[in-house]
């Protein structure tokens, strides 16, 4: 049975065969990350990670209980946490998980890896505030270049590591299997690759929020899925793949593959931090994807982002935050 603590549930991890069911991807589930691809996707799919730094950090902080339990789970995959000497957070964003990993593996150097300078600056500043500055470093790397060069190129760009963590970054690379192959290639024998992909979309409103037709969030999901499909198709070297992440880790040469899911559950009534995060999320959604939504749904979004509206996300008493983050892991065989 799942254990309950700190507003999140972490299911027990069990090994999976590579013939298990594919993991469906939902964009937007999970905590923040960031990287700079060095190219644009067009009006609807362009992402400025530096601008999103505050939003990403707020998102990560709301999920800290789940992230800490995930890090504790990763500790159990090693015979002793002391054998972990170097940790990479690939696509680190503003460094929320970087800090969590540094706390979980106090004997290791933890490296925030990202392509956006502003996010690396935020990651180092966060580490300093947490008293982790001496053990946290940053490395600017364009992931599509480093991971596109295969295991040898990745090892040259990133260096060897005992634990590689990457959250919601691999799906921003055209060849996802190639990216996993490259990340697995930087692991020392016995090292662990942990990739957060998939999970469940965020929910924060009742099915019928009394704003136009019921099912607003389901329709927003459909627009986001279309955005994600366009983003993936426009990536250089984009390759379709069945997103069975444990199987993909197995093809990357890793063993003991498996998955675990952390539930982030903040019930109504929400506190100010969660409401502010959702308000920012909905505001960006309205600005970037509004023209793809039905006019009635646009009106509903306008009400939700209105800071004075009783039915707005900052004031309504029924707002909650529920999402699930799935982490897939594999181990590099010992020599």
- pLDDT tens across 12-32, in order? 333 322 222 222 333 333 333
Question: How far is CA 67 from each of CA 8, 60, 117, 181, 296, rounded to the nearest angstrom?
Answer: 9, 8, 24, 25, 37
Print the domain residue range for 193: 3-199+219-263+320-331
**Does residue 214 lie within any of the structural domains?**
no
- Work out how many domains the chain is built from and give that number: 1
**Does residue 313 lie within any of the structural domains?**
no
**Does residue 250 lie within any of the structural domains?**
yes
**Does residue 277 lie within any of the structural domains?**
no
**Does residue 309 lie within any of the structural domains?**
no
**Does residue 282 lie within any of the structural domains?**
no
Euclidean distance between CA atoms 189 and 165, whole angstroms: 16
Identify the band that residue 49 occupies on the pLDDT scale cut at 50, 70 and 90.
Answer: low
Torsion sign (Cα): 83, 86, 91, 92: positive
CATH of the domain at 143: 3.40.50.150
**Does residue 162 lie within any of the structural domains?**
yes
pLDDT tens digits, one per residue of 161-200: 999 999 999 999 999 999 999 999 999 999 999 999 999 9
pLDDT tens digits, one per residue of 198-246: 999 999 999 999 999 999 999 999 999 999 999 999 999 999 999 999 9
**Does residue 308 lie within any of the structural domains?**
no
Q: Bigger pLDDT: 280 or 12?
A: 280
CB 202 within 8 A of CB 323: yes
């Amino acid at each position: 049975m799942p254990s309950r603590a700190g507003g999140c549930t972490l299911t027990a991890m069990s090994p999976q065969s590579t013939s298990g069911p594919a993991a469906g991807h939902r964009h937007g589930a999970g905590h923040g990350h960031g990287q700079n691809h060095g190219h644009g996707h067009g009006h609807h799919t362009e992402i400025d990670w530096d601008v999103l730094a505050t939003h990403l950090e707020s998102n990560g902080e709301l999920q800290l209980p789940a992230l800490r339990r995930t890090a504790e789970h990763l500790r159990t995959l090693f015979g002793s946490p002391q054998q972990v000497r170097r940790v990479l957070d690939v696509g680190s964003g503003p460094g929320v998980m970087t800090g969590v990993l540094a706390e979980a593996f106090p004997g290791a150097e933890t490296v925030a890896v990202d392509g956006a300078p502003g996010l690396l600056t935020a990651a180092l500043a966060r580490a300093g505030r947490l008293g982790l500055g001496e053990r946290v470093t940053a490395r600017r790397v364009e992931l599509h270049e480093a991971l596109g060069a295969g295991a040898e190129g990745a090892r040259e760009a990133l260096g060897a590591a005992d634990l590689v963590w990457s959250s919601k970054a691999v799906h921003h690379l055209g060849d996802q299997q190639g990216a996993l192959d490259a990340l697995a290639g930087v692991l020392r024998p016995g090292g662990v690759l942990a990739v957060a992909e998939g999970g469940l979309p965020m929910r924060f409103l009742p099915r019928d929020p009394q704003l136009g037709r019921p099912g607003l969030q389901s329709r927003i999901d459909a627009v986001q899925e279309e955005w994600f499909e366009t983003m993936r198709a426009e990536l250089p070297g984009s390759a379709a793949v069945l997103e069975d992440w444990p199987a993909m880790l197995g093809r990357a040469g890793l063993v003991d593959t498996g998955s675990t899911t952390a539930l982030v559950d903040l019930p109504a009534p929400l506190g100010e931090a969660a409401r502010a995060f959702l308000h920012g999320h909905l505001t960006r959604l309205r600005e970037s994807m509004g023209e793809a939504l039905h006019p009635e749904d646009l009106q509903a979004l306008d009400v939700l982002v209105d800071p004075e509206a009783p039915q707005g996300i900052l004031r309504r008493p029924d707002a909650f935050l529920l999402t699930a983050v799935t982490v897939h892991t594999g181990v590099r065989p010992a020599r």
